[in-house]
Amino acid sequence: MNPAKINQLFDTLRAACVRQFGFNPRRITAEIRYVGTEGHGKDLMYIFRAAGSHSQLALKGTYVSLREQHGDKPHWTEAEKAHFKNTDAEIDAEIAAKQAELEFTRNCPLYQDHREQLLSHYKDWPGYQAAGPHPREAARTLLIALAAAHDDRLTAFAEHMRTHDPEQLAHLLLAPCHLEIEAIRDAASADGHAGVKAMLAM
C-alpha cells in the first residue's frame, strides 16, 4: 500500500480513536503501526498494532475496534487504555523525563566506561564484533557481572533510575547506543543519496 493511502487510514484511525475511546491522537501517531488487511469486500478491515504491546486495532470504515483478546494473551488492559488517553501535558512530561534519563545515561561513568564495548555488538558500528551476542544480551551479561562485583558505577546508575531490574537497566543503558547507530545509518543514507545524485549528474 502506498504511503498516501496509509496516511489517509491513520487520519481515519486517529479520528475514530478520539471519538470512540478518548485516545490522544499523538499516542496513535507515535506508537501505532500499520500491519495490513483482513477480509474482503464489505468485510475488509485494516489492522494496526501498538508498537510496545502488540495490542491490535481493527479499522472498518470509520469504526475502530480494540482486539482485547488476541491469541492466548489478553490485550488492551485498563493501564494501556489509560496510557493512550494521556493528555498533551502528560505526554510532554513523559518525553522530558525520558530525555533527562537519556542525557544522564550518556554522561554517566557506567556508560562512558563501557560505551565502546556496548556499541561493538551493533552491526553498523565500525568496531562490530561479528561473533558476539545480541546487544541486549551483552548489556544484560555486563550488568550481572558488575552487580556481582558490587560496582559503584552500576549502583549509582540503578539508584538514579530507581530500578535494579537487569532487563530495564539494559534497556536504559543501550538507549544512547541506539541514537549513535541511528546517526551512523542516517549519515550512510545521506552519503548514498549524494553518490547517486553525483552519478546522475555525470
Q: pLDDT, tens digit, for every residue of 1-21?
A: 889 999 999 999 999 999 999
**pLDDT per residue as tens digits for the range 19-76:** 999 999 999 999 999 999 999 998 999 999 999 888 999 999 999 999 987 666 778 9
- pTM (2 d.p.): 0.74
Instruction: Read off the C-alpha cell for 16.
Output: 475514530
Quick one: pLDDT band at residue 132, thresholds 50, 70, 90?
confident
